[in-house]
Amino acid sequence: MTNTATQIRPPEAQTGQDEFAQAVLDGLQSTPKAIPSKFFYDTKGSHLFEQICELEEYYPTRVELGILEAHAPDIAAIAGPDTTLVEFGSGAGVKVRLLLDALDAPRAYVPIDISRDHLLASSAQLNADYPDLSILPVHADFATPFDMPRMASSNVVGFFPGSTIGNLTAGEAEDFLHSAAETLGKGAGMVIGVDLIKDRDVLRAAYDDRKGVTAAFNLNLLERINRDLNGTFDLSHFTHKALFNETESRIEMHIEATQAQTVTVAGRPISFEKGERIHTENSHKYTVPGFSALAGRAGWSLRAVWTDENDWFAVLYLQRLDG
């Protein structure tokens, strides 16, 4: 039976070509140079990230999947029946299946993602596999205000896997959690994946793999600029760098110029010194108490936490404080 409530064509995102152009030009003309990581995820970037998730060195996906496989029934027991599950940054929709299979008669699934093509493809596949579930995709940047579809269920649970929250600074993470609480509504829950502080060599390898997939993912940002903004980057003159910032407790990804050069973007010249970098991503690492305190400032309480045997990663169940 096909659910006629399923919406396969989501509304347009508020992140468009104009925003991309402005962010790139502003970022490349600033000191130091930086471009927001959300712009990684064009169609090619999304596919490259899926490949990263399958790498031996990239433990977060594998370890989080193991936690979800082991504890999805526990999560479902807390969430309760007739749940509307809202996923922030849905990607390929792999992890959410573990929750959908465990939940008691879920009412709806709302995937939110910045990559429209990826969102449509994963939503169509989920619709085929879960014909009785109302699927309401939203094409949007979840870090900015967007319109949520009308949800039939009053029992709403957010899902934010992959330690994506680590891409945000502490202030941005707190702002996001506060905004998510408002979006999801009174009494809502939130299932969130958080990467924990660990051996530095393990961290560095996860973001600079031997096959060079992460490097390709990072440098694809320059390819996107060349394609969409008439850029003239020669990718052979740039290299991928992954560094651990001890002060900020985060992995940083950069694109480094291997020689002095000038490129153009949307007709504007951008100069690089040899060794100059574009800061493209942060991935903050937490302790469970530290993250719980941050969530508390944003209006959430820690209901439950599950970790792997090495304490490399945690899946937390948060509850809105008014719930």
Question: Once rounded to an integer, what is the mean pLDDT over residues 34-52?
Answer: 92
pLDDT in tens, 250-285: 999 999 999 999 999 999 999 999 999 999 999 999
Q: What is the pLDDT of residue 13?
A: 42
Which residues contact residue 169 at a Cβ distance below 8 angstroms, ignoring those fewer than 6 apart? 282, 284
DSSP state of 286: B
Question: Residue 5: is its pLDDT beyond 70?
Answer: no
CA atoms of 231 and 237, how far apart (whole Å)? 14
Q: Is 139 helix (H, G, I), strand (E, B) or coil?
A: strand
pLDDT in tens, 211-249: 999 999 999 999 999 999 999 999 999 999 999 999 999
Question: Residue 3: is its pLDDT beyond 80?
Answer: no
DSSP state of 40: G
- Return the exposure string of 82-102: e unless at least 16 CB atoms fall within 10 Å of the residue's CB, then b: ebbbbbbbbbbbebbbbbbeb
Q: How many CA atoms lie within 13 A of 235 on its CB side?
A: 14
Q: What is the pLDDT of residue 7?
A: 43
Query: Which of 105, 132, 104, 116 is closest to 5 using CA atoms?
Result: 132
Percent of the chain whose pLDDT exceeds 70 = 93
What is the domain class of 59-198+285-320 according to CATH? alpha beta
Residue spans of the domains in the chain: they are 17-36+212-283, 59-198+285-320
Q: pTM for the complete prediction?
A: 0.87
CA atoms of 271 and 204, how far apart (whole Å)? 29
Q: What is the largest CA-CA distance in the chain?
A: 61
Percent of the chain whose pLDDT exceeds 90 = 81
